Structure 1
Amino acid sequence: MLAKRIQPMVFQARRLYVELMFQVMGRALQAVSEIDSAVQKEARALPDGFLFEMMVMPDGSRLIVEHTGNGRFHYHGDSAPRPVDLSIQFKHIAHAFLVLSFQEKTSVAFANDRMLVDGDISYAIRMTRVLNRLETFILPKLVAKRAVKEYPSNLHLPEKLLSAARIYLKVATHFVETVRA
């Protein structure tokens, strides 16, 4: 009887967590594209105006970022100004929760058929590399090693801390600007 009452609350908590993580990730993608040359290099290969979406199927939470040129991303929230070019879709909220709570790597989730890619696979691989780079900066090393396929050996603590601080400051600033608007 108690399990029947708790189950909807667990589902709601996961949904709220995924929604919050998408907001943070979208803003963090914009921030990391402003400060990291490796991310900018990856993003420059994307066409200007390229729209990337990550979402929970069928109509769940989502994040949408646009490549505005010169390796920079702009976070659009959960609504696209036009049809997206690449969509990575989690098949269920539980699958998104596993990846976004860093219990399962994105590559493992894809291998376990928990997500779909709609769009050019080469762009999906490029965006996954950008997301992995972001995660190595903003997550503690122990957690980041669980989240990304390979933790970069050339990322040292001073660079990691400085980059993480700059990213979090930009994310916080973007949140405040959104609230004021």
Structure 2
Amino acid sequence: MMGKRLKPMMFNARRAYVELMFQVMGRALQAISEVDESTRSETIELPDGFLFEMRVMPHGPALIVEHTGTGRLLYHGDEPPRPVDLSIQFKHIAHAFLVLSFQEKTAVAFANDRMLVDGDISYAVRITRVLNRLESFILPKLVAQRAVKEYPANIKLPEKLVRAARIYLKVATNFVETARS
């Protein structure tokens, strides 16, 4: 009897967590493209106006990010302004929760057939590298090592702390600006 009441609560809690993480990730992707040259050199190869989404199927939470040129990304929230060029979709909210709570690496989730990629695979690989770099900066090293395929050896603690602080400051500023409007 208790299990029947807990199941919807768990689903709603996971959904709320995934929605929040998508908002943080979208804003953090925009922030890292502003503060990290390696990220800009990765994203500059994307076409101007390139629209990327990460979504939970079929109508779950989403994040939409656009390449605006010169390697900069712009977070659009959860509704695309036009059809997307690349869509990475989790098949279920539980799968998204596993990845976004850093219990399962993105590569493992893809290998376990928990995700679909609709669009150019080379762009998906590029976006995944950007996400891995972002996670390497903003997560503690022990958590980041669980989240990314390979933790970058060239990120030293002082650089990590400075970049993480700048990213978090930009994310917080973006949340405040969104709340004001």
Tell me the TM-score normalised to structure 2 length: 1.00
Structure 1: runs of 5 or more not aligned:
none
Q: Deviations over 1:107-145 (max 9, x none)?
A: 000000000000000000000000000000000000000
- Map of 2:52 onto structure 1: 52
Displacement of 1:103 after TM fit? 0.2
Aligned runs of 1:111-150 on 2, under 5 Å?
111-150=111-150
Displacement of 1:56 after TM fit? 0.1
- Map of 1:107 onto structure 2: 107
Aligned runs of 1:7-18 on 2, under 5 Å?
7-18=7-18
Aligned runs of 1:1-181 on 2, under 5 Å?
1-181=1-181
Question: Letter of the aligned partner of 1:161 in structure 2?
Answer: L
Q: Deviations over 1:12-63 (max 9, x none)?
A: 0000000000000000000000000110000000000000000000000000
Question: Letter of the aligned partner of 1:175 in structure 2?
Answer: F
Aligned residue for 2:6, secondary structure, equals: helix
Q: Aligned equivalents of 2:2 and 2:148: distance in 1?
A: 37
Structure 2: runs of 5 or more not aligned:
none
Q: Aligned equivalents of 1:78 and 1:175: distance in 2?
A: 14
Q: Deviations over 1:136-157 (max 9, x none)?
A: 0000000000000000111000
Q: Aligned equivalents of 1:92 and 1:112: distance in 2?
A: 13
Q: Deviations over 1:71-118 (max 9, x none)?
A: 000000001110000000000000000000000000000000000000
What percent identity do the matched residue pairs reach? Answer: 78
Q: Aligned equivalents of 2:3 and 2:82: distance in 1?
A: 42
Aligned residue for 1:22, secondary structure, equals: helix
Aligned residue for 1:84, secondary structure, equals: coil
Question: Letter of the aligned partner of 1:88 in structure 2?
Answer: I
Q: Aligned equivalents of 2:80 and 2:104: distance in 1?
A: 28
Aligned residue for 2:54, secondary structure, equals: strand
Q: Aligned equivalents of 1:60 and 1:81: distance in 2?
A: 17
Q: Runs of at least 4 residues of structure 1 off by over 3 A?
A: none
Displacement of 1:10 after TM fit? 0.4
Question: Letter of the aligned partner of 1:149 in structure 2?
Answer: K
